[in-house]
Amino acid sequence: MVCVEGDLIGCTYNTLRCQSCQLDMGFVLYSAKSLAYLRGLFCLFKDKITCYLLQTTATVEASKVTCPVVSLKEHVAKLKKSLVQVHMRIELLIKKLEEFNQRRITCEESCKGRPYGYTD
Ligand SMILES: [Zn+2]
């Protein structure tokens, strides 16, 4: 479905519909320019759903529940930092492996023709 008006204008999405009562409960965005950070997430309409609270075992309207804001930017920044660290480790390991291989080749060349275990 492509939206032509409202907040989802220009977005391609699938509607999330309750199988029991056929009520539209939310959507999943597939392509979006301004809402790209919501792509692939299940977005639910708070006024259409109820929540079961695990801590109190109470059932309440979602519109009365305060959901903590999750900052994707923070997660992405942490992920980028980890990615840079892993990249640096891999580069260091590649460098060490190249040095090891070079030493092995040098050793093999200098040991040619000598019986195994022979040293000067
Ligand atoms: Zn329903």
In a domain, 78, yes or no: yes
In a domain, 1, yes or no: no
Q: How far is the CA of 45 from the centre of ligand 1 (A)?
A: 13
Residue whose tokens read 């056929």: 22
Domain extent, residue 82, equals 69-112
Domain C-terminal end among 46, 64, 82: 64
C-alpha atoms less than 13 angstroms from C-alpha of 100 in its C-beta half-sphere:
6
Say whether both 73 and 102 belong to one domain: yes
Q: How far is the CA of 60 from the centre of ligand 1 (A)?
A: 15
pLDDT value at position 21?
93
Q: How far is the CA of 49 from the centre of ligand 1 (A)?
A: 8
pLDDT tens, residue order, the chain (120 aa) = 766 667 777 788 899 999 999 999 999 998 877 788 888 889 999 999 999 989 899 999 998 888 777 777 888 999 999 999 999 999 999 999 999 999 999 888 887 766 565 555
What does the block give as tokens for 90?
Answer: 């891999």
Count: domains in the chain? 2
Q: How far is the CA of 99 from the centre of ligand 1 (A)?
A: 64
pLDDT value at position 66?
85
Say whether both 50 and 87 belong to one domain: no
Find the length of the chain: 120
**Ordered DSSP codes for 64-81:** GSPPPPP-HHHHHHHHHH
What are the phi and psi torsion angles at 62 (to 5°)? -60, -30
pLDDT value at position 40?
87
**Neighbour tally for 51: CB within 10 Å:** 16
pLDDT value at position 118?
57
In a domain, 83, yes or no: yes
Q: Is 95 in a helix, a strand, or coil?
A: helix
Residue 26's region, left for phi above 0, alpha for psi from -120 to 50, else beta, is left
